Amino acid sequence: MTTNEALPQREQPRRTTQDRIRRAQIAEAAGGFDGLMPVDWIRDSGASVSQTLALWDQGQLAELPAGKGWDVVRMDRSRGWRTVTALRTADVTIGPVLHTEAYVEVLVPLGSAAGWDQDGASVVAEGELLQVPPPAVVVPHTLRARSWIVPPGRTLTDGMALYEAFASAGASMAMDGTR
């Protein structure tokens, strides 16, 4: 018997959805951290943190509007994965990156993707709703065919660094003969 087995085990209280909503409301009022994950990116989008967390708690995707607290650059999956690899290789701090059936979507600071002019990617229109899983759903796990390559944290990907990595990924794919 180990020392831990000899100690009385305290049963962890089971948190209900209402408990999580109350915690989220407190976190929202306190400026965006619920003790487990940053939630300011949710609040910055204009969405309700408590409603978002409640949907996630029920195993659903939450809908967050783009273009209010951050912009989203959407690219096809294969080039998107190469772009993330290029960012990592360049040792760039990467913010949230969402993986869907058809796209890779990268959250960047508001306005930093305004001049995006590269074929194969677009800036998501202001107000368009992104369906996002909880931050714990990271590739290879999915929720309704969506997952995070890089889960939300306290930073966003630099728009210029993303632009350069996307161009690099395109050049790399052209050299490989892939598309």
Domain coordinates of the chain in residue numbers? 61-176
Q: What is the mean pLDDT of residues 2-20?
A: 57
- DSSP per residue, 33-57: B-SSSB-HHHHHTT--HHHHHHHHH
Beta strands 103-109; 70-76: pairing state: antiparallel
The CA distance from 63 to 147, in Å, is: 14
Task: Round the average pLDDT of the chain to a whole number and report it.
Answer: 85
Angstrom CA distances, 153 to 19, 30, 38, 114, stand at 23, 17, 6, 23
Give the Cα-Cα-Cα angle 29, 127, 21 (nearest 5 degrees).
30
Q: Is the pLDDT of residue 4 over 60?
A: no
- Residue 124's identity, in one-letter code, is V
Residue whose token pair is 């305290």: 10
The percentage of the chain sitting over the pLDDT mark of 90, rounded to a whole number, equals: 66
- Residue 49's identity, in one-letter code, is V
- pLDDT score at 34: 45
- pLDDT score at 10: 54
